[in-house]
Amino acid sequence: MVQILVNDILPILVIMILGYICGKFSYFDDDQRQGLNKVVLNIALPAALFVSIVKATREMLVSDITLTLISLFGIVGMFMLSFFLCKLLFHHSTQEAAVCALIAGSPTIGFLGFAVLDPIYGTNVDTNLVIAIVAIVVNAITIPIGYYLINLGQAKDKAKALAAAGKSTAGKAAEAVSAAANTGAKAVADAAAGDGKLAIAADGTHVDKHGDTITAKGEVDVSRSSNKGTKKHHEIKNPNLAAIVNALKQPVCWAPILAVLLVIIGVQFPSELDPCFELIAKANSGLAVLSAGLALSTVKFSLGVETLWNTFFRLILTPAVFIGLGLIFGMAGDGDKLSLLVMAVALPPAFSGIIISSRYNIYVQEGASSVAVSTVGFAATCVLIVWIMPIITHMFA
């Protein structure tokens, strides 16, 4: 256990502190920080997700249907519960609650999965199976759902801003017409009631020096992100369809989905090509943690109710729910598999969440604080799970 804390948890904290110090001493300016986030989010992370998923097989997914279904419905269910509770309890917007769910509702299985589970449970078929299934659900399902919700929330905010701007413009035009009628200055009325020139950037957006479209809330507009270059794109009228399409355009969404499709149809990815992806994928974890520290340096650290709630949700409530599900569906007598699953879903928050948060300037303060506190808190949770799971499985076996 000490080895896990020293070899796996301590390096995360050290690199995160290093990123925080670099941010505080302006070692990275805003351009460089955003560039680092883009490298992680659009290149390193997609490559890491693709490699981690494509090594699974179709046989693994069907070898234990109970494990697969509990992982699928449990992880997605807790993700959506985190999303709705964030909106209900803390009154956040849809996009903020989506990022919260990506952090509080998703474990960092890709980075810490093997590092934590292998030393405790050994390198065996069960360990590989649990990590593969949890990684597929987290990376190929919850990340795309999160992106969809972020796009949907921003689209609704823009629609509200346009509607408000339309009312304001109509009011100003009416006032101008009235004034013009009273003074006889028809030209003034014509100009004010013209073709909508008063509504330029009526949705509150503007383009910053990085080429990103910034919303009225100061968030980077995902659907108009400079990740896709300057090429014009057609606007989709249906907000739900537009949110889905914009989410699937992101490499961090389509890369894991593509990997899952290859696994399902039984296409074996050539092992000779692994080094092509693994070289950049290996950079993902360190850069992601460094970026988390940089993100934390840009905001005031918060140890408030919301940070504590997110930590409780990630480290206590989620594993407790999976213990209950495992016992209900008869996993207590299945060796260490239930304990493996509980440990896998109790890992600290997925670093992809804080990278998305920092990249698009959404839920940064609460998200970065939650990642830091949860990572420290996992040291105690890990010990607790190792101690209590044999007792529980023995009682119900």
Report d(CA 176, CA 182) in Å as an integer.
10
pLDDT averaged over the chain? 82
Q: Which of 16-20, 119-123, 185-189, 302-306 has the lowest mean pLDDT?
A: 185-189
The pLDDT confidence band at residue 128, using thresholds 50, 70 and 90, is confident
CA angle (253 as vertex; 251, 256 as ends), nearest 5: 95
**102-117 confidence digits (pLDDT tens):** 999 999 887 778 778 8
Residue whose token pair is 């400079």: 226
Task: Look at residues 18, 75, 41 and name the one whose alpha carbon lies nearest to residue 347.
Answer: 75
232 found inside a domain: no
CATH code (residue 23): 1.20.1530.20
Q: Which residue has the higher pLDDT, 273 or 84?
A: 84
User: Which position has the token pair 């069907």?
Assistant: 62
Categorize the per-residue pLDDT at 175 as very low, low, confident or very high, splitting at 50, 70 and 90.
low
Higher pLDDT among residues 356 and 334, named by residue? 356
Is 234 within a domain?
A: no
pLDDT at 286: 78
Residues 186 and 248 in one domain: no
Say yes or no: 260 and 299 in one domain. Answer: yes
271 and 217, same structural domain?
Answer: no
**Selected residue with higher pLDDT from 69 and 396:** 69
Q: What are the CB-based long-range contacts (under 8 Å, 24+) for 326-330?
A: 326/70, 327/392, 327/396, 329/66, 329/70, 330/66
Q: Is the pLDDT of residue 87 over 80?
A: yes
Instruction: Report yes or no on 223 lying in a domain.
Output: yes
- The runs of H, that is alpha helices, within the chain are 2-4, 10-24, 30-39, 45-54, 58-63, 65-90, 94-104, 109-121, 125-137, 143-183, 186-192, 239-248, 251-264, 274-297, 305-312, 318-328, 337-345, 351-360, 364-396
Mean pLDDT score, 175-186: 51
What is the residue range of 179's domain?
A: 159-227
In a domain, 237, yes or no: no
My answer on whether 108 and 88 are in the same domain is yes
Residues 176 and 218 in one domain: yes
Q: Which of 64-68, 190-194, 296-300, 349-353 has the lowest mean pLDDT?
A: 190-194
Together in a domain, 246 and 372: yes
Handedness of CA 266, 270, 271, 274 (dihedral sign): negative
Q: What mean pLDDT is predicted for residues 374-383? A: 89
Q: Choose between 63 and 73: higher pLDDT.
A: 73
Confidence of residue 195 (pLDDT cuts 50, 70, 90): very low
Q: What is the pLDDT of residues 3-53, one digit of tens each?
A: 666 776 788 788 888 988 998 888 888 788 888 888 888 888 888 888 878
- Does position 101 have pLDDT exceeding 60, yes or no? yes
Q: Is residue 90 domain-shared with residue 119, that is, in the same domain?
A: yes
The verdict on residue 233 lying in a domain is no
For residues 218 and 106, state if they share a domain.
no
Q: Which of 77-86, 93-102, 240-249, 362-371 has the lowest mean pLDDT?
A: 240-249
> How far is 84 from 75, CA to CA, in rounded Å?
14
> What does residue 31 show for φ and ψ, rounded to 5 degrees?
-60, -45
Task: Quote the pLDDT of residue 60.
Answer: 79
Give the dihedral sign, CA 161/167/173/175.
Answer: negative
> Is 163 within the bounds of a domain?
yes
Do 17 and 70 belong together in one domain? yes
Per the structure, how many domains does the chain have? Answer: 2
Residues 210, 265 share a domain: no
What is residue 186's predicted lDDT score, i.e. its pLDDT? 45
- Among the residue ranges 127-141, 262-276, 301-315, the one predicted with the least confidence is 262-276
Residue type, 365: Q
The reply to whether 264 falls in a domain is yes
Whether residue 95 sits in one domain with residue 52? yes
Of 227, 255, 279, which one is at a domain's C-terminal end? 227
Distance set, CA 170 to CA 167, 190, 322 (Å): 5, 13, 55
Q: In terms of domains, do 379 and 259 share one?
A: yes
pLDDT for 233: 52
Query: Max alpha carbon distance in the chain (Å)?
Result: 91
